[in-house]
Chains A and B, each alone.
Chain A
Amino acid sequence: MLFSIFAILTVAGAVAAMSFRNLVHSVLALTFAFAGLAAIYLLLGAQFVGLAQILVYVGAVAILIVFAVLLTRDDGTAPRSILSSSWKESAVVVLLVFGVLAWTISRSLVFGQGGGSLPRDVSMQEIGNALMQRFALPLEIVGALLTVAMIGAVTIAVNEKEERR
């Protein structure tokens, strides 16, 4: 029952994010949807993922989106319709994706089919061990990726400053 409440809240947040005309309102509704997702993760017992979702998405990604919206603002008050001009094609794509996802879930463990077993409760120590031993290479690659992204951002910002002079 708790799952239904959080699921409805998440979906409501996502629908609101699409339908608000004001861009910052959409961002805040999207943040609410992120928080709903974090609650679902926590309901599943995944403490680390749920809390990391709040820390990363609500704390960092939402602020990033907000900064991006505010620094590249258009007039904002031009009345636009909620539906974009290509809504028929988008509806077909959405229905296809939904169909594929629903078919996959219906043949998975949630409905008692498929191979494998349900994961037991994973503690923080196990996640740490796995990251440091079995998944050490992916961890290093992600670290290198983040460093490259940071250096790239600094390079772009520095170049912009020099071009303006």
Chain B
Amino acid sequence: MGDAADQFFVNLLHRAVGTLPAGLRPILSSLISVVAILSVFAFLFAVTTVLERKGLGRIQNRYGPNRVGPLGFLQPIADGIKSLTKEDIVPHSADRVVHFLAPLVLVFAAFSLYAVLPIGRNMVLADLNAGVLFFFAVSSVMELTIFMAGWSSRNKYSLLGAMRAIAQMISYEVPLILSSVTVVMAAGSLSTVDIVERQAGYTGFFPHWFVFTPWGFAGFLLFLIAATAESNRSPFDLPEGESEIVAGYYTEYSGFKFALFFLGEYLGLFAISGLGITLFLGGWAAPFSFLTWVPSYLWFFAKLILLIALFIWVRGTLPRLRMDQLMNFAWKFMLPMALLNLVTTAVWHFLAQGVVRWVVCILMIVVAYVLLGRSLMHGSRLEKRVYRFAE
């Protein structure tokens, strides 16, 4: 029963493709998988927009959207109709071709990221030998589209927002890639399928995920912070902050192109969460060995929804970082931590199994964290916070 439910979609695909002539089978199989990925993640995007607005609303002590549909859950349909029927305004002096191409290339790159994520057992679109490298290569294309959007609007504020966004994204790409390199080192392969398989065992009923090791935990936290910065989400959303620079690099976009930018940004967020799940949280593996009867894709989506909830929670809670605070954090704290994490992974790999390597690695990471944190405080003392309220 477990296996049939687990491989339900794979078998469905095989049966659907098997009814067709043999020559067309590979193309049609890829085509059907691509359509499935597009529809599932676009639907997830729609659900996330409404969940985010309601979640943020609740954190800010208000209801979110609650008019359209039961509890407001048909809001994405209303949003979709609105963005489709809005007038498409392009500034007179804007560069029309680049202005048109920027959201297209963004969405194209964002959708291509899902090709290497294993969504379930045997459910990866392209089992590339260098899957993780493909992911980072395509996500670096997304940075160029942000520049295209900002520059083509011929708007000083858009250009400024685009420059800031690119600076932020290339700064945070380094700790992101370094923390993924620790996983690649531990798993011995750049292929996402191999990495998931390396985390597949259980000791007792506790899983072998990389996040349950000291270097994996530190790496996962670094990865999450860098992922928040890569997706330009709060608290790193200075390039597109609504109260700072109107909408930054997509100020001059209206209607459907704006919706495409929104879509591309959220898809990038899901993809990078998916990569985090693949690298650190064991991919489609169940958390406890007595829960392996639940189908693998359900576990992947459960973890993905948990990570999305975490991102929404962080967005509603933390204030926005200033540009120099952001860059300092990336280069002075996260990069040294990521490098030390790399060394800790190597130490973990070469020490024998037992209590010693846990103690050594935890000490390495904690001491580095405390020392780096203290050095960034520039000597100001840590005191009890005093609140002054308006009377």
CB pair A63–B170 under 8 Å, yes or no, is yes
Using A51-B133, A59-B143 as known contacts, say yes or no to A124 and B138 having CB atoms under 8 A apart: no
Q: How far is the CA of A60 from the CA of B163 in the complex (A)?
A: 14
Q: How far is the CA of A47 from the CA of B116 in the complex (A)?
A: 14
Q: Is the CB of B130 closer than 8 A to any CB of chain A?
A: yes
CB pair B147–A66 under 8 Å, yes or no, is yes
CB pair A48–B148 under 8 Å, yes or no, is no
> A70 contacts which chain B residues (CB < 8 A)?
151, 159, 163
Count of residues in A whose CB is under 8 Å from the partner chain: 22
> B138 contacts which chain A residues (CB < 8 A)?
54
> B188 contacts which chain A residues (CB < 8 A)?
125
Question: In the complex, how many angstroms separate the beta carbon of A82 from the nearest chain B beta carbon?
Answer: 19
CB pair A124–B141 under 8 Å, yes or no, is no
Using A24-B151, A124-B130, A125-B189 as known contacts, say yes or no to A52 and B143 having CB atoms under 8 A apart: no
Q: Is the CB of B33 closer than 8 A to any CB of chain A?
A: no
CB pair B137–A51 under 8 Å, yes or no, is yes
Q: How far is the CA of A36 from the CA of B129 in the complex (A)?
A: 21
Give 1 or 0 for each of B159-174: 1 = CB within 8 Å of chain A CB: 1000100100010000
Cβ contact of A63, chosen from B134, B147, B189, B190, cutoff 8 A: B147
CB pair B130–A51 under 8 Å, yes or no, is yes
A-B contact count (CB 8 A): 61
CB pair B133–A48 under 8 Å, yes or no, is yes
> B163 contacts which chain A residues (CB < 8 A)?
67, 70
> A60 contacts which chain B residues (CB < 8 A)?
140, 170
Q: Is the CB of A31 closer than 8 A to any CB of chain B?
A: yes
> B136 contacts which chain A residues (CB < 8 A)?
55
> B368 contacts which chain A residues (CB < 8 A)?
none
> A24 contacts which chain B residues (CB < 8 A)?
98, 151
Nearest A residue to B97 via CB reads: A25
Q: Is the CB of A123 closer than 8 A to any CB of chain B?
A: yes
Question: In the complex, how many angstroms separate the beta carbon of A117 from the nearest chain B beta carbon?
Answer: 22
Q: Is the CB of B144 closer than 8 A to any CB of chain A?
A: yes
CB pair A54–B141 under 8 Å, yes or no, is yes
> A11 contacts which chain B residues (CB < 8 A)?
none
CB contact list, A88-143 vs B, under 8 A: 123-125
> B323 contacts which chain A residues (CB < 8 A)?
none
Give 1 or 0 for each of A33-55: 1 = CB within 8 Å of chain B CB: 00000000000000110011011
Q: Is the CB of A17 closer than 8 A to any CB of chain B?
A: no
Give 1 or 0 for each of B114-129: 1 = CB within 8 Å of chain A CB: 0000000000000011
CB pair A28–B133 under 8 Å, yes or no, is no
Nearest A residue to B173 via CB reads: A59
Question: In the complex, how many angstroms separate the beta carbon of A127 from the nearest chain B beta carbon?
Answer: 9
Cβ contact of A59, chosen from B137, B151, B159, cutoff 8 A: B137
Question: In the complex, how many angstroms separate the beta carbon of A14 from the nearest chain B beta carbon?
Answer: 18
Using A28-B98, A51-B134 as known contacts, say yes or no to A59 and B140 having CB atoms under 8 A apart: yes
Nearest A residue to B141 via CB reads: A58
Of B136, B138, B190, chain A has the most CB atoms within 10 Å of the CB of: B190
CB pair A28–B130 under 8 Å, yes or no, is no
Q: Is the CB of A62 closer than 8 A to any CB of chain B?
A: yes
> A28 contacts which chain B residues (CB < 8 A)?
98, 148
CB pair B141–A59 under 8 Å, yes or no, is yes
> A125 contacts which chain B residues (CB < 8 A)?
188-189
> B95 contacts which chain A residues (CB < 8 A)?
22, 25
CB pair A59–B129 under 8 Å, yes or no, is no
CB pair A52–B141 under 8 Å, yes or no, is no
Q: How far is the CA of A90 from the CA of B144 in the complex (A)?
A: 32
CB pair A62–B144 under 8 Å, yes or no, is yes
> B190 contacts which chain A residues (CB < 8 A)?
124
CB pair A63–B130 under 8 Å, yes or no, is no
Cβ contact of A55, chosen from B133, B147, B148, cutoff 8 A: B133
> A67 contacts which chain B residues (CB < 8 A)?
163, 166
- What would 21 A/B residue contacts be, using CB atoms closer than 8 Å? A24-B151, A25-B98, A51-B133, A51-B137, A54-B137, A55-B133, A55-B140, A58-B141, A59-B143, A60-B140, A62-B144, A63-B147, A66-B144, A66-B147, A66-B151, A70-B151, A124-B129, A124-B189, A124-B190, A125-B188, A125-B189
Which B residues lie at the A interface, using CB under 8 A?
95, 98, 128-130, 133-134, 136-138, 140-141, 143-144, 147-148, 151, 159, 163, 166, 170, 188-191
Which A residues lie at the B interface, using CB under 8 A?
22, 24-25, 28, 31, 47-48, 51-52, 54-55, 58-60, 62-63, 66-67, 70, 123-125
Q: Which 9 A-B pairs have the closest CB atoms?
A: A59-B140, A54-B137, A55-B137, A51-B133, A51-B137, A47-B130, A124-B129, A124-B190, A51-B134
